[in-house]
Chain A
Amino acid sequence: AQSVSQHNHHVILSEAASLELGCNYSYGGTVNLFWYVQYPGQHLQLLLKYFSGDPLVKGIKGFEAEFIKSKFSFNLRKPSVQWSDTAEYFCAVTPGTYKYIFGTGTRLKVLA
């Protein structure tokens, strides 16, 4: 069965530290990849997405992610986090059907 793994369940960083959240998926075909973010008390919203082309994609608020097909990975990065980045982050995959598969999420806490 298709699945998405997010290895870090809880991450605590100080402001200005660099961030990398891991995401691996299990599906051998073409996939479309997403990162969503849920700030405290807010809706889930799209952070960035990859459909095709340049495997390094940039999203909102300085986030970026790199699709490495050979590693089935789509890791999220940010060079310098801010307190306002405190949120829960979800990686999601769709193999091009109607079905979207989400990871279990990573809770990020940034200390001021």
Chain B
Amino acid sequence: SQTIHQWPATLVQPVGSPLSLECTVEGTSNPNLYWYRQAAGRGLQLLFYSVGIGQISSEVPQNLSASRPQDRQFILSSKKLLLSDSGFYLCAWTAVGPPYEQYFGPGTRLTVT
């Protein structure tokens, strides 16, 4: 069966520090991968998605970037964190083909201080 991992689970970082959040998927090949930010009362905001290695689509211009160095690995990064980057970050995957349901990871709670 498929599994999606995210780490770390929680992170507290000072303003101006770099960020790296990692997401890996097991049990499937060539998934579509997604990064979302979830804020209370604002739902899930799509940040990035990827349909293949090295292919990244950005949905919201911001202080963050994403990379997909391997088929089942998706990384969310920032060179310098802002206070507004605080939030709950979710990784998700879907199978390739018709729009299938998304499967979500456990999330990372990021607090920028």
Contacts and interface: CB of A to CB of B under 8 A. Distances in A.
Interface of A: 4, 6, 9, 32, 34, 36, 43-46, 49, 51, 90, 92, 94, 96-105
Interface of B: 32, 34, 36, 41-46, 49, 51, 57, 59, 90, 92, 98-99, 101-107
Contacts of A46: 101-103
B43 A105 contact: yes
Given A98-B32, A98-B57, A43 B105 contact: yes
User: Nearest 10 A-B pairs (CB), nearest first?
Assistant: A104-B43, A102-B44, A44-B104, A94-B99, A46-B101, A32-B99, A102-B43, A105-B43, A43-B104, A103-B43
A101 B104 contact: no
Which interface residue of B98, B102, B103 has the most chain A CB atoms within 10 A? Answer: B102
Contacts of A105: 41, 43
Nearest to B32: A98
23 contacts: A4-B43, A6-B43, A34-B101, A34-B102, A43-B105, A46-B102, A90-B44, A92-B102, A96-B98, A98-B32, A98-B49, A98-B51, A98-B57, A99-B46, A99-B49, A99-B59, A100-B34, A101-B46, A102-B44, A102-B45, A102-B46, A104-B41, A104-B43
From A34, A44, A97, name the one whose CB has the most chain B CB atoms within 10 angstroms.
Answer: A44
A36 B104 CA distance: 10
A28 B32 CA distance: 25
Contacts of A51: 98-99
Given A94-B99, A98-B49, A98-B57, A45 B104 contact: yes
B44 A49 contact: no
Interface centre among A32, A100, A105 (most CB of B within 10 A): A100
Max count, chain A CB within 10 A of own CB: residue among B36, B45, B104: B104
A56 B28 CA distance: 31
A43 B2 CA distance: 14
Contact of B43 (A32, A90, A94): A90
